[in-house]
Amino acid sequence: MPWTVRDSMTQGGPYVTVVGAGHGGRGLAAYLSLSGYEVTLYNRTIENVLEIQRLGGIHITGIVEGFAPLRLVTDDMGAAIRDSDMIIITVPANAHAWIAERMAPHLRSGQLVLLMPGRTGGALEFSQVLSANSCTSEILLGEAETYVFVSRMTGPSSVHVSKVKNYVRVSAFPAISNRRFIRRLRRLPLSFKLADNVMETGLDNMGAMLHPAPTILSAGLLESRGGGYNHYHEAISPTVARLIERMDAERVSVARALSLSPMTLLEWFEESYDATGANLYDAIRKVDAYRGVGSPSSLHHRYVLEDVPTGLVPISHLGRLVGVDTPAIDAVVNMACQLYERSFWHEGRNLSRLGLSGLTPADVIEYVNTGMRAVEVSLLEELWSIYGMEVDEV
């Protein structure tokens, strides 16, 4: 049964800014508001949130019900984050760099910034953009491997939240900040578990496996019908599922080459949905939550425009770094480039954008754990040795 917010439920929690007023952002903002948190909602296109701004809040139904008042609804980044303790970014991952550029002048030390989700390399790219824009504020930056809600907009100022996930895995960048990061996040009415580092959260990117290939291979049906089919139960046929299995095997091999312990898609389905099967196709057919899921209504959809440049492209580049071939993943990226007549290889997250150029696999893990590249560590060790200090003393 859904519950309705009561006056006694307001807890006086931290000020939170939700960046992005799509399905996920509206659900999160409303849920946090009804849980007693002061919430600001930022959206870069103010026209899309004018009704929420006029009302001063969002109507929410589903697992929680009521009118969720918001502290501020704005397209002014400075005003949006000025007084916030936590900033949760829910925009598509291909907009992370744009958001980081505009956030850089306004961030202040002590704020927490969570990308939900980061996809593959989100926190790494975000950090690079902040540095390029001369942001020196000491923030707690991190990412979630996926989004915490299942939610859908139901009107100009309303949202339906049908499920809050049992937990999502998160990590700070660098991972040495993980304990402080999770302590802060536990102030929210959501469940988080720590991953080892952002390489682990980034390479457990299941959306990049499940979204692009079925969408691209259904392009004719999608365009002629304008969608109207079930993405998971109709677009993922036995043959398409076998292609996804090959892509997933490549993703897992890349992660293992970085000394990580990734979940396979089959393991993820069992953990997330209690769905098992002899193969991926069988497991997907047993996910009841997918029965009501529709399809994109056009090819201009995040299943490709987000998941290819911020999922498949960086996984492929990481594969090259660790010496793992990714022919199935590369084929889907190349097909997307041809179908959309644009270079996702150029647009997407490469090693340079992630700050990983010139690093070895061991260097990559050192970097995501400490925030320092091998050359920087060597220089510090040399400096510290002059003063007779050990690295662990600092």
In the block, residue with structure tokens 């949006």? 80
| pLDDT band at residue 189 using 50, 70 and 90 as cut-offs | very high
Q: Determine the distance from the C-alpha atom of residue 274 to the mean position of all C-alpha atoms in its chain, rounded to a whole number.
A: 23
Cβ count near 222 (within 10 Å): 23
Stretch 157-180: mean pLDDT? 92
Task: Pull the structure tokens for residue 168.
Answer: 């999502």
Among 58-72, 279-293, 309-323, the least confident range? 279-293
| pLDDT band at residue 13 using 50, 70 and 90 as cut-offs | low
> Given a cut of 50, is residue 7 above it in pLDDT?
no
- The per-residue pLDDT for 2 is 36
**233 assigned to active site:** no
> Given a cut of 50, is residue 89 above it in pLDDT?
yes
pTM: 0.89
Cβ count near 194 (within 10 Å): 18
Which CATH code is given to the segment(s) 206-347?
1.10.1040.10
3-state SS assignment for residue 149? strand
| pLDDT band at residue 272 using 50, 70 and 90 as cut-offs | confident
Among 70-74, 162-166, 206-210, the least confident range? 162-166
- The per-residue pLDDT for 4 is 34
The residue from 23, 96, 160, 211 that is catalytic is 211
Across the chain, mean pLDDT equals 91
The residue from 204, 248, 307, 330 that is catalytic is 307
3-state SS assignment for residue 137? coil
Task: Pull the structure tokens for residue 192.
Answer: 């988080």
- The per-residue pLDDT for 391 is 37
3-state SS assignment for residue 18? strand
> Given a cut of 50, is residue 393 above it in pLDDT?
no
Which CATH code is given to the segment(s) 3-203?
3.40.50.720
Residues 53, 112: Cα–Cα separation, whole Å: 25
**160 assigned to active site:** no
> Given a cut of 90, is residue 307 above it in pLDDT?
yes
Stretch 6-10: mean pLDDT? 34
> Cα–Cα distances in Å, from 375 out to 109, 367, 370, 378, 380?
26, 11, 13, 5, 9
- Domain ranges for the chain, please list them: 3-203, 206-347, 361-393
Task: Pull the structure tokens for residue 259.
Answer: 């000394």
Please tell me which residue, 10 or 162, carries the higher pLDDT value: 162
Tell me: the pLDDT tens digits for 349-386? 999 999 999 999 999 999 999 999 876 554 444 544 54
Cβ count near 12 (within 10 Å): 7
Stretch 92-113: mean pLDDT? 97
| pLDDT band at residue 330 using 50, 70 and 90 as cut-offs | very high
